[in-house]
Amino acid sequence: MTRKFSGDTLLVATHNKGKLEEMAHLLEPFGVKVVGAGDMDLPEPEETEDTFVGNARIKAHAAAKATGLPALSDDSGITIDGLNGAPGVYTADWAETGNGRDFMMAMTRAHDELVACDAAKPWMAQFRCTLVLAWPDGHDEVFEGVAPGHLVWPIRGKDGFGYDPMFVPEGHDVTFAEMDRWEKNKISHRGKAVEQFVAGCFG
Ligand code: IMP
């Protein structure tokens, strides 16, 4: 039996503004306000695991322990078939410049590696999201969502964040960055994982 979340404010263990905004939008209909790890001055723990769920657990438990509150983390990324699943858990790392994150650089790398290995088109890929809700007593619940699609070049669209401008979700011909937030959240990996979270932990 899934442990229920009670309360009207949820601590989301992320410093990523894009994720936080989407989470706030997704949870608004359930009367839940979100507060980010940055708002509570929580440090960003090192993500030392090689799975999405492992890293999501690290972030959620660190935040729950530091605050004494239930904390929800999101570990997500993109897996590209033609690159044997890369960048996967290293999706954010591909954008690391040493002085912040540059997603144009990360998308260019994905494109260049696909071209270099002569990957067959369409370039199939999946956005993946693992959510972990952790309580201060060490209990946790895990929820997962996947959005299948393909990659396009050149990139298109100005909305969203991260790799959104190069990802066209299955059944659509526009990228996530060409959709408004409402449209993206209905079909995204994060939207699907939040659906599971709400079904399991609310009501
Ligand atoms: P992490 O979960 O903090 O390790 O970072 C995951 C990375 O995946 C983010 O920095 C984004 O670049 C990328 N990502 C995750 N979800 C999305 C999304 O919905 N759109 C675009 N990029 C995403």
Band (25; pLDDT cuts 50, 70, 90): very high
Structural contact between residues 49 and 77, judged by C-beta atoms closer than 8 angstroms: no
156 Cα–ligand 1 center, Å: 17
Residue located nearest, by CA, to atom 20 of ligand 1: 164
Band (190; pLDDT cuts 50, 70, 90): very high
pLDDT at 5: 92
pLDDT (average), residues 87-93: 97
Dihedral sign computed on CA atoms, order 42, 184, 167, 105: negative
pTM value?
A: 0.95
Token pair for residue 88? 């996967």
Residue located nearest, by CA, to atom 8 of ligand 1: 77
> How is domain 9-201 classified at the architecture level of CATH?
Alpha-Beta Complex (3.90)
pLDDT tens-digit map of 31-83: 899 999 999 999 999 999 999 999 999 999 999 999 999 999 999 999 999 99
pLDDT (average), residues 15-30: 92
**Is the shortest distance between the CB of 92 and ligand 1 below 6 Å?**
yes
5 Cα–ligand 1 center, Å: 25
pLDDT tens-digit map of 6-20: 888 899 999 999 999
**Is the shortest distance between the CB of 88 and ligand 1 below 6 Å?**
no
Strand order of the β-sheet with 167-169 is: 33-36, 9-12, 71-80, 123-134, 140-151, 167-169
pLDDT tens-digit map of 92-104: 999 999 999 999 9
The ligand 1 atom nearest the CA atom of 95: 12
Provide the b/e sequence for 174-190 (b: ≥16 CB within 10 Å).
ebbbbbebeebbebbbb
18 Cα–ligand 1 center, Å: 8
In 40-116, DSSP assigns E strands to 71-80
Structural contact between residues 145 and 194, judged by C-beta atoms closer than 8 angstroms: yes
pLDDT at 34: 94
Structural contact between residues 3 and 201, judged by C-beta atoms closer than 8 angstroms: yes
Residue located nearest, by CA, to atom 10 of ligand 1: 92
Structural contact between residues 124 and 67, judged by C-beta atoms closer than 8 angstroms: no
pLDDT tens-digit map of 132-189: 999 999 999 999 999 999 999 999 999 989 999 999 999 999 999 999 988 999 999 9
Q: Is 41 a catalytic residue?
A: no
Instruction: Tell me which of 8, 39, 74, 75 is the catalytic residue.
Output: 75
Gap between the Cα atoms of 118 and 104, Å rounded: 21
Across-strand partners of 12? 36, 72
Within 8 A by CB and 6+ apart from 103, the residues are 95, 161, 162, 163
pLDDT at 8: 85
How many CA within 13 A on the CB side of residue 88? 13
- What length does the chain have? 203
Measuring CA to CA, which residue among 170, 195, 162, 140 is closest to residue 19? 162
Please state the separation of Cα 107 from the chain's center in Å.
16
**Is the shortest distance between the CB of 188 and ligand 1 below 6 Å?**
yes
**Is the shortest distance between the CB of 75 and ligand 1 below 6 Å?**
yes
